[in-house]
Structure 1
Amino acid sequence: MPTEKLDPADLTARLIRCPSVTPQEGGAIALLAGILGEAGFACTRVDRGGIANLYARWGKQGANRAFGFNGHTDVVPVGDANAWRHDPFGAEVEDGVMYGRGACDMKSGVAAFVAAAVDFVRETPPDGAVILAITGDEEGEGADGTVAILDWMAFNGERMTHCLVGEPTCPNEMGEMMKIGRRGSMTAHVTAVGVQGHSAYPHRAKNPLTAMVRLLARLEAEPLDRGTAHFDPSTLAITTIDCGNPATNVIPARATATVNIRFNDMHSGATLSDWLRSEAAAVAEATGVEIGLRIGISGEAFLTPPGALSELVAEAVAAETGRKPVASTSGGTSDARFVKDHCPVVEFGLVGKTMHQVDERVEVAQIHQLKAIYGRILREYFA
């Protein structure tokens, strides 16, 4: 008697009902470990730093072909729960649409690739391995999520030969876009320290705001670049400026600002850090104000060159949706920035219009469609 297929929409609902707001596990990782274990996957909890992670492998360790899926079960906070039409953790369905935090980003994606993988190994056991790397720390700092899984894999001799990250990638219509790379991301926290004084006697003070404004103007004066073959132009955004000064007649002693840069493959975090420090040093010398920088790099720009993996994904998407996805590097960062150091990686998932929003939601039909796409990718990969 054939085994009943795993319903990805039902699994999405069960995951949404797990309140897994970063860094809480909420029962989501345990739920998946139980399902995958029953399906014959060797499951290992790779918890680190208070974060729950799951590594699940069907097939032999060290297989010549090991296709992996990566995704996360953690979600962002719901915000004002009273602003939601439905319980954020209720997974209620209305007119074919499922509501809930994580419905779009990305419990539906995890449910789709888990269901596809389970059905695939049951129906057509492959000559190779199927690996699922699922983290509870994608919406947070990320230091103890996918990175922890990859560290554990390296220590234990586990390896994926190719990987698909199931993040939402389509702007408006199912199947229109996949990601073959991502821009790098970095944040610079700038501190300018001068000398406090009376605003009527500015010559007796050393105004840090003057230096800060000059520095920020220099940073924004020219575009970082004009874009590259696969990337849009890099961007620099000033996100905060503050001096904490409530008085109108006092020149403050200290000012802070934050700058966020999203950069393409013309740059690295190191080269941009050198540029920021050089600009800060020039302004400090000109103004006599001390300027300090604290720089955090959350990911480098990367590209998986168009080839066999991206074509495999594109053809599967086209077969199931009638639409061949555009290969893009747009958007923010994802855990693909970590996976790319392990193996070639491509991203494809649902329409992401409602992720992180109030009334986050997903069309139930699209969850089934996504499972079909992932199942087709597995069949073709191991064909």
Structure 2
Amino acid sequence: MEPEVITLARQLIEKPSYTPDDAGCQPLLMNRLGGQGFQGEHQRIGEVDNVLMWHGEQPGPALMFLGHTDVVPPGELSAWKHHPLSAHVESGVLYGRGVADMKGSVAAMVLAMEKFVAQNPNHPGKVALMLTSDEEGEAINGVRQFMPEMAHKHHFDYCLVGEPSSGQKLGDTVRVGRRGSLHVHITIQGKQGHVAYPQLAANPVFLAASALDELGRFAWDQGNADFPPTSFQVSAVEAGAGAPNIIPGELKITANFRYAPTSSQDSLAAQLQQILDRHQLNYELSWQLSGEPFHCQDEAYKQALAASIRQITGTEPEFNTGGGTSDGRFVAPHGIATMELGPINKTIHQVNECEKISHLVQLENIYLDLIHRLLLQP
């Protein structure tokens, strides 16, 4: 007989919820949990659907699971072994777009909450699930906007994000934070001219070359025990006036800082300006903060999650801050201890995305064990 977590995961995978379209995933879960005594609040912002479902209002610890129902497009369908929306099961493996990132986690969270409430209908504290359909996209109208209002209405002590954190074995990696992501657009001014008369022009590509070399080698900070040093990477370079015989008048550079809590937007901006000034460049800067870094330092929460992983899988988890960004960056600033634990990440955003059935069953049990530890054994 198919585990119930797999049945629910398949129902979610079959829905074409490509960002920002929820495609009915959230109503399915709201109706399901609503029939078991959960309350819910839905908010549509632009084309994005957001929902918070919770159970319990008594004093006590409060845990919120965080996930998303949107998935990335499947790409060329002919490259898939099975249709990405077929939720095909073969040899103990569930295939489908979003099974690992992160409809499998969402199903496991729902089943864990259901079982906990069925076993403990008058439990202390609160258990909740927040979902958005805008995590894989611009992440503007999702948790970024939804969380502040919900944080004003609800108190939460802990948040567990279901992003696929595991590497080789389920539960071998827990993200205890993420680096911040800061984009900068640099415009270097030169002087346009004819390539045959370079003495009458100032090529901004050559003017910026030594500064770019220094930026690539510069040590922005040293990081700390959980975070690597801040990195600076150029992602786009643009120059040219549309003709091969014109020296461009400006050079446009797009770059990104992935930074530890040891730095800030202000400190990075000051260091960048010092380098550009030192090279006597005429420049303009514009900034876009994608998300500030967050770092869970709640040792009791970390120990509880590690104990749940050991209890279910026998694996000793590694705590780190690797990977890109997640919606956890919009939760942690509200004073909520935030970590991430989810399925194996080897096939996310790839053709033939998949996850073992046994892993999703174990994940459900880890989540359930964690709820018990945080709410009943604080």
* TM-score, with structure 2 as normaliser: 0.94
User: Do residues 239 (structure 1) and 244 (structure 2) align?
Assistant: no
- SS of aligned partner of 1:107: helix
The aligned counterpart of 2:28 is 31
Encode CA deviations 1:276-311: one digit per residue, 9 max, x unaligned. Answer: 23333444xx25xx4222211112222111510011
Cα distance in 2 for partners of 1:329, 1:234 equals 12
Deviates more, 1:19-28 or 1:235-244: 235-244
In the alignment, structure 2 segments of 5+ residues that lack a partner are: none
Cα distance in 2 for partners of 1:193, 1:178 equals 45
Do 2:40 and 2:52's aligned partners in 1 also have CA atoms closer than 8 Å? yes
* TM-score, with structure 1 as normaliser: 0.92
CA RMSD in angstroms comes to 1.9
Cα distance in 2 for partners of 1:89, 1:210 equals 51
Counterparts of 1:53-202 in structure 2, within 5 Å, are: 53-60=50-57, 63-125=59-121, 126-155=123-152, 157-202=153-198
Encode CA deviations 1:107-137: one digit per residue, 9 max, x unaligned. Answer: 1011100110011101222122111111111
Specify whether residues 81 and 280 from structure 1 end up closer, same or farther in structure 2 by C-alpha distance, changes over 3 A only. Answer: farther
User: Do residues 296 (structure 1) and 292 (structure 2) align?
Assistant: no
Cα distance in 1 for partners of 2:241, 2:80 equals 38
Counterparts of 1:15-54 in structure 2, within 5 Å, are: 15-54=12-51
The aligned counterpart of 1:223 is 219
- SS of aligned partner of 1:349: coil
Aligned residue among 302, 316, 337 for 1:324: 316
Counterparts of 1:262-281 in structure 2, within 5 Å, are: 262-281=258-277
Cα distance in 2 for partners of 1:40, 1:362 equals 31
Give how far 1:37 is off: 1.0
Deviates more, 1:103-112 or 1:249-258: 249-258
Please tell me the residue identity of whatever aligns with 2:12: L
Give how far 1:221 is off: 2.5
Cα distance in 2 for partners of 1:90, 1:244 equals 48
- SS of aligned partner of 2:274: helix
The aligned counterpart of 1:358 is 351
Cα distance in 2 for partners of 1:222, 1:127 equals 51
Please tell me the residue identity of whatever aligns with 1:330: G
Give how far 1:141 is off: 1.9
- SS of aligned partner of 1:226: coil
Specify whether residues 243 and 141 from structure 1 end up closer, same or farther in structure 2 by C-alpha distance, changes over 3 A only. Answer: same
Do 2:298 and 2:337's aligned partners in 1 also have CA atoms closer than 8 Å? no
Do 1:180 and 1:327's aligned partners in 2 also have CA atoms closer than 8 Å? yes
Deviates more, 1:26-35 or 1:271-280: 271-280
Do 1:16 and 1:102's aligned partners in 2 also have CA atoms closer than 8 Å? yes
The aligned counterpart of 2:304 is 312
Cα distance in 2 for partners of 1:324, 1:160 equals 27
Specify whether residues 197 and 140 from structure 1 end up closer, same or farther in structure 2 by C-alpha distance, changes over 3 A only. Answer: same
Please tell me the residue identity of whatever aligns with 2:39: A
Q: State how many pairs are aligned.
A: 374
Specify whether residues 81 and 274 from structure 1 end up closer, same or farther in structure 2 by C-alpha distance, changes over 3 A only. Answer: farther
Please tell me the residue identity of whatever aligns with 2:175: K
Give how far 1:215 is off: 2.9
Percent identity at matched positions? 37
Do 2:3 and 2:361's aligned partners in 1 also have CA atoms closer than 8 Å? no
Encode CA deviations 1:133-162: one digit per residue, 9 max, x unaligned. Answer: 11111112222211233122134x212121
Q: Which runs of 4+ in 1 moved over 6 A?
A: none
Cα distance in 2 for partners of 1:244, 1:33 equals 53
Cα distance in 2 for partners of 1:75, 1:307 equals 32
The aligned counterpart of 1:367 is 360
Cα distance in 2 for partners of 1:80, 1:277 equals 44
Give how far 1:246 is off: 5.5
Do 2:13 and 2:96's aligned partners in 1 also have CA atoms closer than 8 Å? yes
Please tell me the residue identity of whatever aligns with 1:335: D
